[in-house]
Amino acid sequence: MPAPRVSDSRARPAALLGGPSSGLAGGLPARAGVGLKPRHFRDVLDTRPDIGFFEVHAENYMVDGGPFHHFLGRIGDLYPLSLHGVGLSIGAEGALDEAHLARLAGLIERYQPAAFSEHLAWSGHGGVFFNDLLPLPYDRATLARVCEHVERVQQRLKRRMLLENPATYVEFAASTMSETQFLSKVLQRTGCGLLLDVNNVHVSCTNHQRDAPAYIDALPLDAVGQIHLAGFASDTDAAGAPLLIDSHGAPVDEAVWRLYAAVVAQLGAVPTLLERDNDVPSLDTLVAEARRAEDIMAATVQPRRCDNDWVNS
């Protein structure tokens, strides 16, 4: 695949540009990145923070022109980009939306992102779109459908995609396998990579009263191509039990940092995205969180290359 475009060494120290231990050879660099928000466009260009990459939500750029494309083009010349989809509805009962897939292909052609990811979830049915990422029943029929959809995405986009574990609040009684079993089978059958959202693990495991480290241990961690970290909101359910909401509106919780450190201790450095979509703070604050992730990675023995190579080349 094309090398990530880093045309200005002020964006990152020379020691982190390329080389066998940088993790930059394929896919995202094994560093921390932050979500790119329009309010930070100018700050990024003016201050060029020392971070590994920026991630954008694909659907925010599905327009023909305008300032978003202007700034993303300029920032994409300076940093590797990760394209994160939130509207493909990979778990949908019907066929994938080919028009949506074509728009994704156009964005990938235009920006050549180092990674593309989507969620193990559904968000549309029968032409109706829900602004949410909804859970799936984990059974054989759903597994076949999700694998078919992931394979179609990879074929259409001509690249390996990363599939993200969801944050869930309810589960289907009809499921015949666990979420980790389901994810493992999708990864094995399609060859896609895993976007391990550590906050989602903590949120879901708290909500369903499961052991988060055991959940992570049950996943094929060799397939992890990227990690997400985010903050959650705390509530209680009708029975008074803890209910965590994947809000992306708070700093990363200490419990999530501990889980993250345990994963990194096992895997080495992994491209890590700090997600923040609500109550977005200053760019400096986000970069400081990214720095904490990099400090944790730096404490590990061996940086790890994450390979998001093209599928058909």
- Site residues for Fe ion per CB under 5 A: 197, 228
Q: How far is the CB of 195 from Fe ion (least distance, A)?
A: 7
Of the pair 22, 165, the CB lying nearest Fe ion is at: 165
Residue at shortest CB range from Fe ion: 228
Q: How far is the CB of 18 from Fe ion (least distance, A)?
A: 28
Q: How far is the CB of 156 from Fe ion (least distance, A)?
A: 22
State the DSSP code for 194.
E
Q: How far is the CB of 7 from Fe ion (least distance, A)?
A: 28
Q: How far is the CB of 281 from Fe ion (least distance, A)?
A: 18
Containing 115, the helix (H) or strand (E) segment is strand 115-119
Of the pair 57, 69, the CB lying nearest Fe ion is at: 57
Q: At 195, is the secondary structure helix, strand, or coil?
A: strand
Q: How far is the CB of 301 from Fe ion (least distance, A)?
A: 27
At 69, list the tokens: 């494309």
Of the pair 11, 198, the CB lying nearest Fe ion is at: 198
Of the pair 22, 204, the CB lying nearest Fe ion is at: 204
Of the pair 197, 253, the CB lying nearest Fe ion is at: 197
- The CA angle 289-265-51, to the nearest 5 degrees, is 30
List all residues 6 or more positions away from 53 whose beta carbon is below 8 Å from its beta carbon: 4, 28, 29, 31, 33, 79, 80, 81, 82, 114, 271, 273
Angle between helices 254-267 and 198-207 (to 10 degrees): 120
Cβ neighbourhood burial of 139 (10 Å; 0-12, 13-18, 19+) = middle
Q: How many Å apart are CA 252 and CA 155, to the nearest integer? A: 35
Q: How many Å apart are CA 50 and CA 152, to the nearest integer? A: 36
Of the pair 40, 202, the CB lying nearest Fe ion is at: 202
At 168, list the tokens: 């869930």
